[in-house]
Chains A and B, each alone.
Chain A
Amino acid sequence: MTLKKFVTLMFAAALVMFVFACGKGHEAASKEDEGEDDEAPQAASAPATTSGAPAAAAAAVPVVADAATITGVVKLVGNAPKMPTIQMNADPYCSSQHPNGQNAQDEEVVVDAAGDLANVLVYIKNPPPGNYPMPSTPATLDQKGCRYYPHVQAVRVDQPLEIRNDDQTLHNVHAMPVVNSQFNEGQPIQGMVATKKFDKVEMTPFKVKCDVHGWMKSYMAVMPHPFYAVSQMNGTFTIPNLPPGTYTLVSWQEKYGPQEQQITVGPKETKQVSITYKAS
């Protein structure tokens, strides 16, 4: 009888102590851990990108009815640099595609007489999270006459990219992304198509080059959303279907680099934006 009582008593005491200790310890520990310094000093903070994706998937924002549109013109002020004519003599096939250097201008800065700047990638840096529909068609990158078409473009994450060789010569497509994985594939046969995908967001354009023809280069960005455009030959661009809000609008030019500006668009508004680069 006594033993049983004793055991019960001790058992109860231990239990109380344990529950007390654990409850307290747990609570305090979790509180204190915000400034936890338990890690090796060289380690940086954990990447925050992971939490965004599931949240976005859960709260899919459809393209809203009162969507706004951003439109504008990219201008270059100052003396436009003269673009050299690319010498393609190294590959007779290439030079035969451009008799008298026709259509063989370097495309680093493509500007018309009015100062309209083409090939500028314009995109929204911080769009609202949403499950934006993927374009139904794959993006394309054509190699034609030993040049890339288009010269600058953006694709969506996981959007198929069809790389086509229209030339009767060997091209290799050497994509040099920083975030995504690099690839370098040879396309020795005319009409060959390779299909590739980029699975990570990479908003800063990276170079795609051909090692066989040193002048061939194209730039490509990988976007998580559809709010991007590349300025056309007359410098214009349009980003439609944008939910109202305040955004950072980034433009990127091959030679002059990125520029940012804040814009606010209201419901159903068509916002005119002007982007100006200075020729240095």
Chain B
Amino acid sequence: MKPQEPIPHNYSMAKLNLIFAVSALGLLFVTGGIVLYDYVRGWKWFQWEFIRIQQERLQQDLRAAQQGENRTRMAQLDKQIKQQELTIAAHRQQYVLAQRDLDQWEGQHYAADEDYRFAKANLDAKRYELEMAVLQKRRDRAQTRKEYIDLSNHVDDLQLRLQAVTRDRDAVQARVNAWLKKIKDAEDTRKQLTASIDLVKKQLAAVSTNGQFFILNAPMLDFISPTFKIDQVVLPDLFVNVNYMEVPRVDRCQTCHRAIDQPGFESKKEAARLSAELQQKLDTYQIPQNKRAATEQRIAQLKRIQDAPQEILNPWRTHPKLDLFVGSASAHPLLEYGCTSCHHGMDRATEFGRAGHVPPNAKMERRWSGFWNVAKRQWGYEENPFDETPMYPRQYYEAGCVKCHANQVQIKGGAQITRAEATVELIGCYACHKIANWRFTGLRKPGPDLTGIAEKTTPEWAIRWISEPHDFRSTTRMPSFFYQRNMVGPAVPAAERAQNIKYQDAEIRAIVEYLFSKSKHRVWPAPGPGDAARGKQLVNTIGCLGCHVDTETVKGATTGEMRLARRTDFPLERNYGFNLTGVGTKTNAAWIYNWVRNPKAYYPEAPMPSLRLSDQEAADVTAYLVTLQKPQFMQKPIRPVDPEAVRELAKGYLVNTRTDRDAEAKLKTMPMHEQLVYLGQRSIEKYGCYSCHNIDGFEGLKPIGTDLTIEGSKALHLFDFGFVHDYKAEDGVHEHVLHTVPSWIYNKLRSPRIYDDLRTKAYNDKLKMPNFHLTPEEARLVTTVVLGLTKDQIGADKIAATDPQTRAAQEGLKLVSQHNCRACHIVDGYGRAIASLISDTNFLPPDLTPEGARAQSPFLFNFLKDPTVMKIRPWVSVRMPTFQFTDAEANTLVGMFAAEGKAHEFDNAVYSMPPASNVAVGREVFNMLRCAQCHATTPVNPEAPPVPKTASTQSLAPNLTLARVRLRHDWIPDWIRRPNEMIPGTRMPANFPRDPATGGFISPLANAIDSPQFAKSKAALMPYFKSEADLKRTMADPVALTEYLRDYIWSIGITQIRAAAPNQAPAVIAPPSMPKQLPAMKTGRAEQGGGVTAGR
């Protein structure tokens, strides 16, 4: 055959083969690459790492279970297990024998049964035969009958035999069952002995990375049932805005944060904190008996974490507050709230950079950014200028509370946000910046009234004060508007700086001119002669220092040297009133005298309450306060005002509405004073002074600042960072400006004009926000609040504190905050700033935590309206002020206490009179427990009980005759049983101590009643009991005893006190002159009737 002619073509086959081969290979690799690219995801690494951590922890647990103290236990266990196994083996032998026996008996039983059945069948056949034989009258019928009877007897025999066999078989069966049970019991015991270890082993097997694991997660096979997978939770009533549409959140955070809901992966520090907390709860019987064992196990687990060789790093940690968040039994379970509802962030993202992580500080930013490198823990952070919900950095976590808890003053478990909101309220951010939520609306103007400034101080002082308030008082809340960084700072060119100073001088002067020209000039009566020493004594003892600080220097924490104080050196509550230093320089004796007597006469909305000072006391206090001088402040030079600067500034405003020529002409008609007043008015408008102060001519104007209601939802690109990256703050702290929203806000607060650095701006266009000299801590707190003010949509049932009772409590707590009750009292668990000044807790104002459960509401209402109706603790020198609450306010407070104290139920026993026998028993118990050693039981005038000498033993406890009108009927016995648990540190001793084993109360009289010292009492008590056993049973019963005590106390109580005077304000001093400008004298509502209104 002729070889086939090669077909001629224009290409080389060999070359083509090569090209195909290469491109096929190329395609193969590309395909492989695509698969790999799709396969290798960041979150998988986190899941892999978590498996490794789990293995490590479990192995550690296993070792812990087998080692150390447990080793001897384990050895014992092993012995027991061996024992059990031997037992099982022995039992098994017995069982086998028994079973063999049983088998035999079963055979016999079967045979017997069969014989019987067959015989019975034969008998039936025979019976038929017999019947037929009888019927047919056969001959052999006699024979048949005989056969039948024989057979019948045989059947009976067989039946008996069957029964016997069955009985025997059942007996053997029971024996077999008994052995079986013994074996099972032994095996159960063994299982129990190894249960904890078996559990760990089982868990270990569940996270083992065996062949099956690799196959399930292999590329291209992992669609079947992979263990690496994205975890997500859908939150139907928490929304996220995606392109103008609110869609439910889908949180995928758990994909990487695997351990977030699994206890056992806490950081060492958290473990230490949690175990200490739990131990404390165990020790104080706060954990129910049935949960104590579980709690002890949890503490052991936490201890193991603390002893573990390696720390667990952040992405794999357990949520540190599982009792509050994430945990299924917590208030915010994961399945309902997810993560981003609190933390913010992109809910659906599974990559670090996209998820909206925000670095808390420069160091973390440096670490996070940079190309993905797990080794260096560079997660690939990227800033997203358009993300409206970036995550809150860790120092602002509690910002996330605000969106649902905006209806609350106090957020349980949110100490930082509660404090932050109180700080915002104290500093008064809400005055210039509208914050349209319940918490920050309806609050008073934070600054004092300026409509009577001329009565209070001089223009010279006011100029110096406005120039730099902090020079006068380092802790003042009045911010510095002038001579700030963007006006006179180092970055401002020298020529511009000189001009700015001239302008600022003119503005300050103009503002003062305006204020004084508009001021009222009432003449206040001068005080009589006062004793400054006694005045100082009064200021120190009657409670002034709860709200006012009287010092401006504190000891530095590190150097120990004296330095200027800042607000944060004192409790928040003590910054409520102004710092008393220099008050004598600022104002005059007449003003002080009238102010301390009745602040509301000067300014009806004054926050200061009346301490009911007598004329002499007021004169003494005045004499003391005028000695608080700061002469050096008044020596600060005041630069003369440049008329040209005034003219230029005034013209700047005039040309807004006029032509240049008209403005010039208008100016020519205005003398200097008029120009100043005009410029002053415009400057007050410019700087927004009226937002905080009551100023004549600015009533009803809108506040000046940016609306902050949804500030926390503003995306990064809307913030002007200027050119600043880092700077040295005025307190010497080096601050970084990160390109994040929280950092912008924080630095804005720390140094409000910082973003003007290196900018070129006209004088009036420069940033105007004044400098509050916030400490880093304050700035952090305020930033937390601002970040929390978002436009996030929330389902109605997720909004907290909407039920009427919580509303009542929160309304009351808002009043508590507004009136600074926590300066002297502990309310709802915290407060009492004044405690830092009074070392002996016996002389502190009372802890009001249990007030709702303690006091009867009508009494409380009356007392709040008019504290003079009863003096409960005459030895306490701090005075409860008269706040001149309206009925509505007093009712709100009473409602708050009732809701907090869970005492909203009507206490109808209050009006009952206990039976005489109860009173008699109670009196005897009262004597036996020697209650009268501290408590007086003689009736006194409730308005002026005798002030005890402190040396007297019958001194520092309330007079019990006042209990009946004041205390709740059900509260007294409860209090007697556990005073220290209700008010830690109280002087009232626990007379019924807790039994450490059971947590129950023990009665000291249980045995003592038989002792000779109580023989008389016993004899006196006997008539009231059926038998001695009955008496002893009662004496051993703390509940019964405390109720008898209560009944006795009830029987000696007075039943009536004076109702609150309708106008409790002290008489207002009517100034003799300037009647036209008298303020409307609000002296409280004129109530009719004067009776007690039920405060519910």
Residues of A within 8 A of B (CB): 6-7, 9-11, 13-15, 17-18, 21-22, 24-30, 32-33, 36-41, 43, 45-47, 50-51, 54, 57-58, 87, 89-91, 168-170, 172-174, 176, 181-192, 194, 199, 211-214
Contact = CB atoms under 8 A, between A and B. Distances in A.
7 contacts: A14-B218, A30-B310, A50-B272, A90-B953, A191-B1011, A199-B283, A214-B950
Contact of A29 (B214, B377, B979, B993): B377
Contacts of A173: 989
B45 A10 contact: no
Contacts of A37: 361, 363-364
Interface string B922-942: 000000111101100000000
A10 B313 contact: no
Given A51-B306, A87-B951, A211 B989 contact: yes
A174 B979 CA distance: 12
**Which residue, B397, B930, B984, has most C-beta atoms of chain A within 10 A?**
B930
Nearest to B993: A185
Contacts of A17: 40
A8 B452 CA distance: 89
B218 A7 contact: yes
Contacts of B363: 37
B269 A43 contact: yes
B395 interface: yes
B104 interface: no
A194 B1004 CA distance: 10
A176 B950 CA distance: 20
B934 A212 contact: yes
B218 A22 contact: no
A10 B32 contact: yes
B298 to A, nearest CB: 15
Interface string B897-920: 000000000000000000000000
Contacts of B930: 169-170, 188
Contacts of A189: 928, 1004-1005, 1008, 1011, 1013-1014
A182 B985 contact: yes
A252 B49 CA distance: 53
B76 interface: no
A172 B989 contact: yes
A33 B360 CA distance: 17
Contacts of B268: 46
Interface residues of B, number: 73
Contacts of B985: 176, 182, 184
Contacts, number: 166
Interface in B1008-1053: 1008, 1011, 1013-1014
Nearest to B45: A21
Contacts of B36: 10, 13-14
B284 A15 contact: no
Contacts of A24: 374-375
Given A51-B306, A54-B307, A192 B48 contact: no
A202 to B, nearest CB: 15
A222 to B, nearest CB: 15
A57 B269 CA distance: 23
A211 B49 contact: no
Nearest to B932: A170
Interface in B976-1018: 979-980, 984-991, 993, 1004-1005, 1008, 1011, 1013-1014
A35 to B, nearest CB: 10
B221 interface: yes
B394 interface: yes
A9 B990 contact: no
B989 A174 contact: yes
A227 to B, nearest CB: 26
A6 B32 contact: yes
A22 to B, nearest CB: 6
Given A7-B218, A192-B1004, 18 more contacts: A11-B218, A14-B218, A22-B49, A29-B377, A33-B313, A46-B269, A46-B306, A50-B272, A54-B307, A57-B69, A90-B952, A170-B930, A174-B987, A174-B989, A176-B985, A186-B990, A188-B928, A189-B1004
Contact of B49 (A10, A11, A26, A213): A26
A218 to B, nearest CB: 16
A170 B990 CA distance: 12
A17 B928 CA distance: 81
A105 B1072 CA distance: 62
Interface in B214-232: 214, 218-221
B671 to A, nearest CB: 57
Contacts of B397: 40
Interface string B31-64: 0100110011000010011001000000000000
A21 B374 contact: yes
Contacts of B52: 22, 26
Nearest to A17: B40
Contacts of A22: 45, 48-49, 52
B314 interface: yes
A165 B761 CA distance: 81
B9 interface: no
Nearest to A37: B363
B165 to A, nearest CB: 66
A64 to B, nearest CB: 24
A249 B591 CA distance: 60
Interface in B769-815: none
A17 B35 CA distance: 14
A214 B988 contact: no
Contact of B376 (A7, A28, A50): A28
A246 to B, nearest CB: 29
B34 to A, nearest CB: 11
Contacts of B933: 91, 169-170, 212
A188 B313 CA distance: 55
Contacts of A186: 929, 989-991, 1004
Interface in B237-274: 267-269, 272
Contacts of B929: 170, 186, 188
A27 B364 CA distance: 20
Contacts of B376: 28, 32
Interface in B303-321: 303, 306-307, 310-311, 313-314
B700 interface: no
Contacts of B214: 11, 15
Nearest to B842: A211
B68 interface: yes
A58 B68 CA distance: 8
A25 B986 CA distance: 55
Given A181-B283, A212-B934, A10 B220 contact: yes
A39 B954 CA distance: 52
Contacts of B950: 214
A37 B311 CA distance: 13
A171 to B, nearest CB: 9
A32 B377 contact: yes
Contact of A25 (B49, B219, B979): B49
Given A169-B933, A182-B980, A9 B307 contact: no
A41 B779 CA distance: 14
A32 B930 CA distance: 65
B708 interface: no
A211 B956 contact: yes
A28 to B, nearest CB: 4
A174 B361 CA distance: 47
A22 B49 CA distance: 7
Contacts of A21: 45, 374
Contacts of B40: 14, 17
Nearest to A13: B36
A228 B210 CA distance: 58
A90 B214 CA distance: 84
Contacts of A36: 311, 313
A25 B374 contact: yes
B325 to A, nearest CB: 15
B685 to A, nearest CB: 40
Contacts of A30: 310
